[in-house]
Amino acid sequence: MKIRDYYTDYYSKILLWREKYIGENSFIIILSLLVGILSGIAAYIMKFFIHQIQHFVVGLTQNSVNFWYLGLPMFGILLAALFVKYVVKDDISHGVTKILYAISQHKAIIKLHNTWSSIVASSLTIGFGGSVGAEAPVVLTGSAIGSNLGRFFHLDQKTLMLLVGCGASGAIAGIFKAPIAGVAFTLEVLMLDLTMASISPLIISAVSGAAISYFLTNDHRAIFYFETFEPFALDRIPFLVILGVACGLMSLYFVRGTNWAETMFKKINGFWVKLLIGGVSLGVLIFFFPPLYGEGYDSIRALLGGNFEELFSQSLLFNYRDSAWAIIIFIGAMAFLKVFASVFTNGSGGTGGLFAPSLFVGCLTGFLVAFVMRLLGADVPFSNFAFAGMAGIMSGVMHAPLTGIFLIAELTGGYSLFMTLMIVSVISYLTIIVFEPHSIYAMRLAKKGELLTHNKDRGVLIMLTMENVIETDLEPVYPDMTLGDLVHVISKSTRNIYPVIERGSGRLLGIVTLDEVRNIMFRSELYDRFKVSRLITSPPAKIEYNTPMEKVMDIFENTGAWNLPVIDENGIYKGFVSKSKIFNSYRRVLVHYSND
């Protein structure tokens, strides 16, 4: 027996044993635990590599004004871009958008290389100073682990979608040590329409991902642990409302600024030209504003601790660190320029996400609003407002207020901040949805009509394929057949529509309906005088075999038809699709989709 045949036979035995001894629900629980553990390990590995590279870089960047910043970020982006171009040979940017596309249009299938490729590319990008975050790449990694594990065991699309969500939940929980935020992210950002029973696997993945992270790092504190927060006070609510509106408007700038800059960058042709323009631009920004280096979490800690000297270190404005106006200008400029630093990083070939940039901008926004209010005489706490700003920007940019609230509470250990976080997050979200109906991740797909939303009707339609609904039992007729031949076909058929096909090629020429021939079909004297070619009519529309079911329903709606012919890309007749068959299939899938 050949080695390949041996492993194929062994693989089949594993699948049969699983189906025989482990029930579907129990197996999903087991897989969700495994996906969470693997996603947590992936998050740890990525963070480990990033920190190792940054530790090496820090040894080079000890001067008061550091010229290494002009070249190191571009070097990291170059390594990442070459890795993607010549090793991966696939686009791995916009990780969360990739997941949304896989759920919406690709049956929750994510390529196998996504289980590791983002770890390498993002580590190189961020470690050398790319101004992006590791969270979106590790979410793609976790989701890819879930998707490929499900495919390995030949699970259906419904379960694949759930495992993709488990991977994302475990990855967020692992990288942030925030299990509740992991579940909230999956429900809000990935927009999975899940039943209550589906929540359990998400929670299991999130808890296991966070637990693995705690175990591997041997650090049981929150990432931005803060010992004391000022208690919530009713008289600060007006100031929190102002902060919420400011975060909503800043989120709008973040989203539109990112999309505008990305659009401009896409117009630049040439791999090396993009690398040079983006790398040099990023280096210059980091040289003048060193906190833009990398994820920016060290700068967030310095700002929250009131350590302005560290924030201004290696900056040309170091001598002005005690000036109120210098602080306002410096922090405000960084908040606005972080968007461009992130786009320069990804646009020139780097790989990273927008989680960290949104947290960075949120912290700066919250701190700056509090700083200005204190100059005007208001008694507002810097730390509370900075953390609330982080929740507000994340809620606005990602259209995910629950994720923003729970993530910041878990990142800080500041569960006493809930009222503050809720007020700012909700107002920020309500502010941005006036201008932008979709999150920064979803808007690219929404513009193309490729987004699966919380709308279960649309979700079920997307899960249907033409293979599920096509009908091939209609009797075909040919243009050279006589009316008598057609009547003979009608006498044996139970349908009232007949496709007219060209002999030899199989190409669809049109249709003949029973209503069109009813008035002459019983006049035998006409049987030899009329040919089918004289009775052909054009169908209201023709549907190509690979058309998504949602678009098929749009065609039915626009034409008012009840039955439509299906052809391939060459016009060859494949069958018919009817509204009634789609509705019946829809009901069956809906029952299966919601039977938990």
Quick one: which of 43, 51, 45 has its CA closest to 295? 51
DSSP string, 387-414: HHHHHHHHHHHHT-HHHHHHHHHHHHT-
The Cβ of residue 561 has, within 10 Å, a number of other Cβ atoms equal to 16
Structure tokens at 27: 């197996």
E strand or H helix at 508, and its extent? Answer: strand 508-513
Strand partners, 512: 498
CA neighbours closer than 13 Å in the CB half-sphere of residue 10: 7
> What does residue 551 show for φ and ψ, rounded to 5 degrees?
-70, -30
* Site of tokens 């929150």: 222
Residue 454: per-residue pLDDT: 45
pLDDT digits (tens, 9 = 90+) for 309-338: 677 776 666 666 667 888 888 889 999 999
Decide if 22 contacts 30 (C-beta within 8 A): yes
- Give residue 490's pLDDT: 86
Distance CA(45)–CA(51), nearest Å, equals 10
Q: What is the pLDDT of residues 235-291, one digit of tens each?
A: 889 999 999 999 999 999 999 999 898 888 888 888 899 999 999 999 899 888 888
Determine the pLDDT at residue 189.
82
- Maximal C-alpha separation, the chain: 106
CA distance 236 to 449: 42
Three-state SS for 334? helix
Q: Locate 416 and state its tokens.
A: 């006493």
Q: What is the pLDDT of residue 250?
A: 96
pLDDT at 446: 60
Name residue 90's amino acid. Answer: D
Tell me the three state secondary structure of residue 563: strand
Cα three-residue angle 81-86-92, rounded to 5 degrees: 55
Say if CB 404 and CB 398 are below 8 A apart: yes
DSSP 143-201: HHHHHHHHHHTT--HHHHHHHHHHHHHHHHHHHHT-HHHHHHHHHHTS-----HHHHHH
Q: Considering the entire predicted model, what is its pTM?
A: 0.77
Pairing of strands 563-567, 543-544: parallel
Tokens of 464: 């249907």
Residue keyed to tokens 């243009």: 479
The ranges of the chain with pLDDT < 50 are 1, 453-454, 593, 595-596
**Structure tokens that stand for 60 in this block:** 């080079």
Q: Six-digit token pair at 587?
A: 């009901």
Contact 109, 151 (CB under 8 A): yes
For residue 185, give the nearest of 159, 200, 167, 198 by alpha carbon. Answer: 167
Q: What is the pLDDT of residue 453?
A: 46
Name the H helices within 350-400.
Answer: 355-375, 382-398
pLDDT of amino acid 31? 93
The enclosing H or E element of 512 equals strand 508-513
